[in-house]
Structure 1
Amino acid sequence: MKRHYRRCFPALSLAASLALLPLCAWSADHDEAGTIVTGTSPESHFSRQEEAIRRLQQRVDYLEQRALASPDLKTVVGRGPAGTASATSAGTPEQPVDARISANPPLAPATQTTQATQAGGNAAGGSAGTVQGTAITSTQGIPLFDNRFSFEQGLTYTHYDKRSLVLSGFLALDAILLGKVNLQQIRTDQFQYDLTGRWNLSERLSADFNVPVVYRNSTYISPGAGSAASAFSDGSNHSGSVGDINAGVYFQMPKGATSDIDWIVSARMKAPTGRAPFGIKLVENTDPNNNNLLIPTRQPTGNGIWATTLGLSLLKVTDPMVLFANLGYTYNFKRSFADLSSSLTTVTPGEAKIGNAWSLGAGFALALNDKTSASFSYAQLLQQVSRLRADGGDWVRQVGSDSNSASFNAGLTHQLTPRLSMVGTLSMGLTPDAPNFSVGIKFPYTF
């Protein structure tokens, strides 16, 4: 019976304290002689009530701590999900309440820190659903496994400015060029509108589907108009259509008992739904005084081949940051085309094999507050040389078709509503093969 009383002691103390609360509130408005104090404002009355409640709560917490810290009980004190204390008694002999006095102060409330989202959390420690995960999803393509379905719209503007030196002639005595030297410049502005849907098929499996719409406008500038080196002529054209649609699946590998890193493997497939660059004819510019400038009749919106990409991503949460890195390999399948030639008067059927590519990147997402995060990353793409083969001929290596494209990326994610976020991105090219810069904005919506 005594043991039962001791176990119920904290609850009885709390009930008694709440029962005495009206009395304490009444006493706060009376002086020591028992007369009512006049002229008391409602604000001061409520403040005294809150102070009385706070003191009663501290008293209850202290009594609970004394009961839990009793030396005659083998007690294990833990913290539950809500930060409340729990105890497990081993059933030792009973002692008077006065013997259960501890010098330890009452337990402080448990503090809750904002956990950074792991893109692809597992069942043991799932995704926390913060803005870091949205930043990684929108900028790196690594999915959040805790979202059942999300839909994303995005618009990206990319600018290219390339200059190339064209030598037309031959070398005499291996030192003197007999012919023409021409410096050509190509400026391209590209707008890409993306529609992306992501599905969480299970706690470890996710899939996405992307449809891009591409608009390209290119301007070609060349000197030599009217046989004058200082005179320039230019030409431009533009095209727009659906780009190469693509889809991917992601699988999060099970975590080890002591591992705090998420490993995600992925596979993507790209279809040649965009306008291929092969067979686009080059024509002379409309300027009759400059026959050095040839411009294409239209702009490509895809690369015209099937491709598959295998990737591996890893994420590590170090509150308030999420560190991530990825590695991928893209295999481009060869494909036959009715025409490979760029000459206006020639039709050359054959096959094209675009060089395979390695991609790598690393970065981090940092939470600025509970709604905003920033991300910074480095990305690089190493493209191998491409080859063309006319029907009945041999493969011909395309000089200059290999590339090394590296860029620095920065992004800012802000949660507009519990379901809608806004993601701004900026990419700056670090090598001549990379775009000069790219800016974009996306709006992921989670259902």
Structure 2
Amino acid sequence: MGIKKFAVILVSSLLLTSSLFASEPTKKELKEALKKESQPKEVLSQFERDYILLKKGQKEFENNFSWTYNSANQIFLASFAILDPVFLTVGEFGVENIRRHIFSDTMTLRYGFLDNLQGEISVPIIYRHDRYSKIGTTGSGNEEEEKTQDQFGLGDISVGLSYQPIRETDTRPAVITNLSFKFKNGKSPFDIDVDENGEMQDLPLGSGYYAVKFGVNLAKTIDPVVVFGGISYAYNIKENVDKTYYIDDDKNASTPPKKHGLEKVDAGDTISIVMGFSYAVSYNFSLGFQFQDDLTMSTYIWTAEEGKKKVTNTNLNSGIFKLTAGWALSENSSLNFNLGMGLTSDAPDFVFEVRYPIRF
């Protein structure tokens, strides 16, 4: 009986000891648990850079390739919102159909001045291809013509600051404010020659005016989901053009082209709202959804003949729904894919983006 009792006690002790060792977390499990704890912030970083600021002294380089396609009659593509309509109004002819491709490779450098203050500069390289059919609205011909144009070069450079005055807690979201300034160094539509038929001889790659943008973003972690939203206002600064175009309005060979003097352009300001969420599928992969709506006010021009004039069809509403995926390649780099689909007639048909940020 003593030996049996001793054997039972020994077996019970071994089972208890193995159970204790089995329940003790390994180093790998502890590292994965810590990684999971920080996962929502990593997911948000992959989804939308504006919401996660760099630490003091930290730097980040991001390469962002995008392909934007639009087939609508009215074109609204960020800084390209009012470029062509200005000239259409001056020349008084209509565009029947447009197929526009814009390929952009934007290189952005960010630097953390403080843990809650970050600066950045963005330089876009753009290739633009337009194919359109034109039907004249003046004269007696009403001839239809199809034409293609291509342009490659530097777009409008922008600089910005992001500041986080409020940190996220269990009961309140993080608050990040953004202030940016856009230059007009890209090829301006106001510097492009227009022939006597009112056609541009080249394609613009910039807006032709300076712009200031201010925004406020909110983000809240509900593990493993990050919910965010924000609003911004872009103020477009009035541009003095002072350019004269000679356009043959009546298409009559015996009548000289009519003089059109474009003095100023006041591009409509834009209010943007965004909301969405991102979900951590695994330790290094996330999926997200986002809705963005840009409301652009009407553009006004000043001509020598008529003075101040409202440009028709420039009060626009561009709504886009985005699907996003983020893949963390390492602790300092990730690969992100965005597919945006236009929801309104003023929005692009689709926008496809590939982003590769790397911190150092």
TM more than 0.5: yes
Q: Verify: 1:114 aligned to 2:24, yes or no.
A: no
Q: CA deviation at 1:145?
A: 3.2
Helix, strand or coil for the counterpart of 2:247?
coil
Q: Residue 325 of structure 1 aligns with which residue? A: 229
Rounded to whole Å, the distance in 1 between the matches of 2:131 and 2:209 is: 26
Q: Residue 306 of structure 1 aligns with which residue? A: 210
Q: Verify: 1:150 aligned to 2:63, yes or no.
A: no
Rounded to whole Å, the distance in 2 between the matches of 1:301 and 1:134 is: 28
Rounded to whole Å, the distance in 2 between the matches of 1:163 and 1:360 is: 24
Which AA in structure 2 matches 1:197? L
Rounded to whole Å, the distance in 2 between the matches of 1:360 and 1:439 is: 20
Which AA in structure 2 matches 1:402? N
Relative to 1, partners in 2 of residues 1:268 and 1:207: Cα closer, same or farther, differing over 3 Å?
A: same
Rounded to whole Å, the distance in 2 between the matches of 1:308 and 1:340 is: 28
Aligned length: 313
Q: Verify: 1:424 aligned to 2:343, yes or no.
A: no
Q: Residue 376 of structure 1 aligns with which residue? A: 289
Q: Residue 436 of structure 1 aligns with which residue? A: 349
TM-score (norm 2): 0.76
Unaligned runs of 5+ in 2: 1-6, 8-12, 24-28, 75-92, 249-256
Q: Residue 199 of structure 1 aligns with which residue? A: 111
Q: CA deviation at 1:228?
A: 10
Task: List aligned pairs for 1:80-95, cutoff 5 A.
Answer: none
Which structure is richer in relative contact order (CA contacts within 8 A, separation 6 or more)? Answer: 2
> Of 343, 347, 357, which aligns to 2:270?
357
Rounded to whole Å, the distance in 1 between the matches of 2:310 and 2:241 is: 17
Rounded to whole Å, the distance in 2 between the matches of 1:337 and 1:411 is: 40
The 8 Å contact of residues 220 and 295 in structure 1, kept in 2 or not, is answered as: no
Rounded to whole Å, the distance in 1 between the matches of 2:353 and 2:277 is: 19
Helix, strand or coil for the counterpart of 2:71?
strand
Helix, strand or coil for the counterpart of 2:190?
coil
Task: List aligned pairs for 1:220-299, cutoff 5 A.
Answer: 220-222=132-134, 233-255=145-167, 259-278=171-190, 280-283=192-195, 295-299=199-203
TM-score (norm 1): 0.62
Q: C-alpha offsets along residues 130-163 of structure 1, whole Å, 9 cap, x if unaligned?
A: 23322221xxx43433481110012111111023
Helix, strand or coil for the counterpart of 1:162?
coil
Q: C-alpha offsets along residues 19-46 of structure 1, whole Å, 9 cap, x if unaligned?
A: xxxxxxxxxxxxx9xxxxxxxxxxxxxx
Q: C-alpha offsets along residues 321-366 of structure 1, whole Å, 9 cap, x if unaligned?
A: 1100010011111121242648386462522111111000100111
Q: C-alpha offsets along residues 145-186 of structure 1, whole Å, 9 cap, x if unaligned?
A: 34811100121111110237xxxxxxxxxxxxxxxx987111
Rounded to whole Å, the distance in 2 between the matches of 1:182 and 1:149 is: 48
Q: Verify: 1:189 aligned to 2:98, yes or no.
A: no
Rounded to whole Å, the distance in 2 between the matches of 1:442 and 1:245 is: 18
Rounded to whole Å, the distance in 2 between the matches of 1:183 and 1:350 is: 23
Unaligned runs of 5+ in 1: 1-31, 33-50, 62-82, 85-109, 119-127, 165-180, 285-292
Which AA in structure 2 matches 1:156? S
Rounded to whole Å, the distance in 2 between the matches of 1:54 and 1:150 is: 51
Q: CA deviation at 1:317?
A: 0.1
Q: CA deviation at 1:258?
A: 6.1
Q: C-alpha offsets along residues 46-68 of structure 1, whole Å, 9 cap, x if unaligned?
A: xxxxx969817839x9xxxxxxx
> Of 14, 17, 32, which aligns to 1:55?
17
Helix, strand or coil for the counterpart of 1:300?
coil
Q: CA deviation at 1:390?
A: 3.5
Which AA in structure 2 matches 1:241? G
Which AA in structure 2 matches 1:260? R
Q: C-alpha offsets along residues 264-304 of structure 1, whole Å, 9 cap, x if unaligned?
A: 111111111111223544448xxxxxxxx964211111111
Rounded to whole Å, the distance in 1 between the matches of 2:199 and 2:16 is: 80
Higher strand share: 2
Q: C-alpha offsets along residues 108-146 of structure 1, whole Å, 9 cap, x if unaligned?
A: xx976823666xxxxxxxxx4x23322221xxx434334
Q: C-alpha offsets along residues 203-245 of structure 1, whole Å, 9 cap, x if unaligned?
A: 1111111111111111112469xx999x964111111211111
The 8 Å contact of residues 190 and 214 in structure 1, kept in 2 or not, is answered as: yes
RMSD of equivalent CA atoms: 3.5
Relative to 1, partners in 2 of residues 1:154 and 1:111: Cα closer, same or farther, differing over 3 Å?
A: closer
The 8 Å contact of residues 44 and 52 in structure 2, kept in 1 or not, is answered as: no
Q: Residue 71 of structure 1 aligns with which residue? A: none
Q: CA deviation at 1:418?
A: 2.6
Q: Verify: 1:135 aligned to 2:44, yes or no.
A: no
Which AA in structure 1 matches 2:128? R
Rounded to whole Å, the distance in 1 between the matches of 2:246 and 2:130 is: 17
Helix, strand or coil for the counterpart of 1:163?
coil
